[in-house]
Amino acid sequence: MTPDLSRRDFLGAAGAALAASRLAGAPAPLGAPALLLRGESQPAGVGSPNAKPGIALALELMGKGTDTLDAAVEGVKILELAPKDSAVGYGGLPNEDGVVQLDASCMHGPTRRAGAVAALEGIKTPSEVARLVLKYTNHILLVGEGAKRFALSFGFKEEDLLTPESREAWLRWRANRGANDDWVNVPENGPPMARVTGTCNLNVVNRNGDISSMTTTSGLSWKVPGRAGDSPIVGAGQYTDNTVGAAGSTGLGEANIMVCGGFLTVEHMRRGMKPADAALETIKRVVAMLPDRWLRPNGRPGLNLNFYALNKRGVTGAASIYPSQYATSEGSQAVLRDTAYLFPGD
Higher pLDDT, 346 or 314: 314
Check pLDDT > 50 for residue 5.
Answer: no
* Phi, psi values for residue 175, rounded to 5°: -70, -20
Cα separations in angstroms, 252 against 87, 157, 177, 249, 336:
13, 30, 20, 9, 21
Task: Indicate the range of 76-80, 105-109, 189-193, 323-327 predicted with least confidence.
Answer: 189-193
pLDDT of residue 345: 80
Query: What pLDDT does residue 198 have?
Result: 79
Share of the chain above pLDDT 90, in %: 79
Is pLDDT at 14 greater than 80 in this prediction? no
Mean pLDDT of the region 65-91? 96
| CA–CA dist 314, 223 (Å, integer) | 36
pLDDT on residue 27:
53
Cβ(141)–Cβ(158) below 8 Å: no
Taking a C-beta distance cutoff of 8 angstroms, is the pair 206, 68 a contact? yes
| pLDDT over threshold 90, residue 274 | yes
Neighbours of 187 (CB within 10 A): 6
For the chain, the average pLDDT equals 89
Dist CA 279 CA 126 (whole Å): 26
| CA gap 149, 164 in Å, rounded | 26
pLDDT score recorded for residue 17: 47
266 vs 246: CA distance, rounded Å:
6
Contact assessment for residue 311 and residue 37, using Cβ atoms and an 8 Å cutoff: yes
Per-residue pLDDT at 88 exceeds 60: yes
pLDDT over 70 at 110, yes or no: yes
Given pLDDT bands bounded at 50, 70 and 90, which one contains residue 36? low
- Nearest-angstrom CA–CA distance, 80 and 90: 6
Residue type, 235: G
For the four alpha carbons of 82, 88, 92 and 98, in that order, the dihedral sign comes to negative
The CATH H-level (homologous superfamily) assignment of domain 44-339 is (Glycosyl)asparaginase (3.60.20.30)
Q: How many CA atoms lie within 13 A of 9 on its CB side?
A: 6
| Residue-level pLDDT at 174 | 87
pLDDT of 98 strictly over 60: yes
Closest CA to 102 of 114, 87, 113: 87
Instruction: Please state the domain extents for the chain.
Output: 44-339
pLDDT band, residue 21 (cuts 50/70/90): very low
What pLDDT, on the 0 to 100 scale, is given for residue 28? 52
Whether 35 shows a pLDDT value over 70: the answer reads no
Q: Which residues of 58-73 are buried (b: 16+ CB within 10 A; e: fewer)?
A: bbebbeeebbbbebbb
pLDDT, residue 281, reads 98
Mind listing the pLDDT tens digit for each residue in 127-164?
Answer: 999 999 999 999 999 999 999 999 999 999 999 999 99
What positions carry a catalytic annotation? 199
Q: What is the pLDDT of residue 175?
A: 84
The three-state (H, E, C) secondary structure of the chain, written as one string: CCCCCCHHHHHHHHHHHHHHHHHCCCCCCCCCCCCCCCCCCCCEEEECHHHHHHHHHHHHHHHCCCCHHHHHHHHHHHHHCCCCCCCCCCCCCCCCCCCCCEEEEEEECCCCEEEEEEEECCCCCHHHHHHHHHHHCCCCEEEHHHHHHHHHHCCCCCCCCCCHHHHHHHHHHHHCCCCCCCCCCCCCCCCCCCCCCCEEEEEEECCCCCEEEEEEECCCCCCCCCCCCCCCCECCCEEEECCCEEEEEEECHHHHHCCCHHHHHHHHHHCCCCHHHHHHHHHHHHHHHCCHHHECCCCCECCCEEEEEEECCCCEEEEECCCCEEEEEECCEEEEEECEECCCCC
Residue 189, pLDDT > 80, answer: no
